[in-house]
Structure 1
Amino acid sequence: MIDKVAWLRVESGRVLAARSHGKSVWYLPGGKREPGESDVATLVREVAEELSVTIDPATVHHFGTFEAPAHGRAGVVRMACYTAEYHGTLAASAEVAELAWLGAADRDRLSAAGALVFDEMHRRGELTG
């Protein structure tokens, strides 16, 4: 089991996604927790590392937890997804090749876990185009 935490940032019906260098699949910003780290601490650390912004811990809300096959390797990803406000200017870090705002039509460009999140967001009316 690959245990991950992801940030859902929605603006104008689209979700912020990131693509790593050398990869074609998009993912939701976030990552794996370090030993003893809480979901919120993981979210704050990973988003700062990937996107150069600071998550406001007081605004973090659990959206849902999703499980799907891992992309490109054996195993399953369990991804706890959270919404939150942030401070700063979004910018791709050294480990991120580019950022994009994806809509419902971009579902197939995501990892399997990301696609499940998109399905739920679309079902809830939070995702467009």
Structure 2
Amino acid sequence: MEIRIAAAAILRQDGAMLLVRKRGTSAFMQPGGKIDAGETPVAALRRELFEELGLTIQPDDAQYLGQFSAPAANEPDSVVTAEMFRLSHDGDVEPQAEIEEVRWVAAGTQGQLTLAPLTRDMVLPAIWG
């Protein structure tokens, strides 16, 4: 089964990336979520970031990075296909809705966390090289 999502690589000025962990799971990943029927990826991203982190972004804030696919972290026998965007944010974020934990992760320290396959294999290499 394919799960279509919009997600954000949110970067702080110092280069750290924001990762989130959903309640009842162990893997950290980019914030974002499923794209509803008739919804554009940017609209889904704006809705999800507001629901999950209380962030209000403008469509022009989100730089499109491309489409990435990997095995889903929390749904067996599923593949997640993400419309991935890059955002800059230096303020505080608070976990809301299904998000249990947020963490700013610096390049080189991600090995200390359990990461979703999409984050580990696709997004982090695309952002940090």
Give the shorter-chain TM-score range: 0.7 to 0.9
> 5 Å matches for 1:1-129?
1-11=2-12, 12-72=14-74, 73-84=76-87, 89-104=92-107, 105-107=109-111, 109-115=114-120, 116-123=122-129
Matched residues, number: 123
Q: Percent identity?
A: 32
Q: 2: distance between equivalents of 1:44 and 1:8?
A: 13
Tell me the C-alpha RMSD between the 2 structures.
1.9
TM-score normalised to structure 1 length: 0.86
**Does structure 2 retain, via aligned residues, the 8 Å contact 1:17–1:99?**
yes
- Amino acid in the other structure paired with 2:100: A
Alignment gaps of 5+ in structure 1: 124-129
Structure 2, unpaired ranges of 5+: none
| Secondary structure of 1:43's aligned partner | helix
**4+ runs of 1 displaced by more than 2 Å?**
84-89
Q: TM-score, normalised by structure 2?
A: 0.86
Give distance in 2, aligned partners of 1:24 and 1:16.
Answer: 16
Deviations 1:5-35 (CA, angstroms, capped at 9, x unpaired): 1011111121101111121111100000111
Distance 2:114 2:11 in 1: 17
Q: Which residue of 2 aligns with 1:127?
A: none
TM-superposed CA distance for 1:89, in Å, is 4.6
